[in-house]
Amino acid sequence: MSIAKNFVRNTKWNSLIVLYNILIQFSQLTLLTYILTVQEMGVVGVIAIFLGIYSIFTDFGLGRAIIQDENFDQTKLSSALWIGIFASIIFSLIFLLCSPLISEVFNYDLFKIILYSPPIIIINTIGNPYHSVLQKELMFKEITKINFFANSVSFVSVLMFAWFDHGPISIIYGNILMSSINTLGYIYYYPLTLEAPIKFSWIQIKPYVSFGLYQTGERLIGILRYHFDKFLIGAFLGLEVLGVYNIAWNILIMPISKLNPILLKVAYPVFAKIKANENALHKYYASSIKAVALINFPILCGISIVAHEFISIFYKPEYELAGYMIVLLSLAFYNSVIGSPAGTIIVAKGQAKVSFRWNLVYILITVITSYIFVTLYPQIDTVLYARILLTYFVGIYIHRIVYRVSGFNILELMPFLLKLAFLCFIMFKFTNLLFSWLIISDIFVLFVLKVLTGIVIYIVGIYILFKKEFFDIYKLVKK
For the chain, how many structural domains are there in total? 1
The DSSP annotation for 25-61 comes to HHHHHHHHHHHS-HHHHHHHHHHHHHHHHHHHHTTTT
Burial of residue 2, with CB atoms counted within 10 A of its CB: 0-12 exposed, 13-18 middle, 19 or more buried:
exposed
Burial of residue 419, with CB atoms counted within 10 A of its CB: 0-12 exposed, 13-18 middle, 19 or more buried:
middle
Closest CA to 378 of 244, 172, 236: 236
The DSSP annotation for 70-117 comes to TT--HHHHHHHHHHHHHHHHHHHHHHHHTHHHHHHHHTS--HHHHHT-
CA distances from 149 to 20, 185, 254, 256 (A): 11, 10, 19, 22
CA distance 251 to 327: 11
Closest CA to 8 of 462, 476, 361, 357: 476
- pTM, 2 dp: 0.77
- In this prediction, residue 193 carries a pLDDT of 46
What is the distance of C-alpha 400 from the center of its chain?
Answer: 22
Contact in structure between 245 and 233 (CB atoms under 8 Å): yes
| Total number of residues shown for the chain | 479
Contact in structure between 124 and 55 (CB atoms under 8 Å): yes
Burial 377-406 (b: 16+ CB within 10 A, else e): eeebebbbebbbebbeebbeebbebbeebb
CA distance 360 to 392: 16
CA distance 300 to 157: 30
Burial of residue 61, with CB atoms counted within 10 A of its CB: 0-12 exposed, 13-18 middle, 19 or more buried:
buried
Burial 290-318 (b: 16+ CB within 10 A, else e): bbbbbbbbbbbbbbbbbbbbbbbebbeee
CA distance 47 to 419: 39
Helices (H), 164-238: 170-189, 202-232
Sign of the dihedral through C-alpha 303, 307, 310, 314: positive
Ranges under pLDDT 70 in the chain: 1-17, 58-78, 80, 136-138, 190-215, 218, 258-282, 340-356, 358-359, 405-406, 469-479
Rounded to the nearest 5 degrees, what angle is found at the Cα of 370, between the Cα atoms of 369 and 373? 90
Report the amino acid identity of residue 143.
I
Sign of the dihedral through C-alpha 167, 241, 107, 364: positive
What range defines the domain where residue 26 resides? 3-478
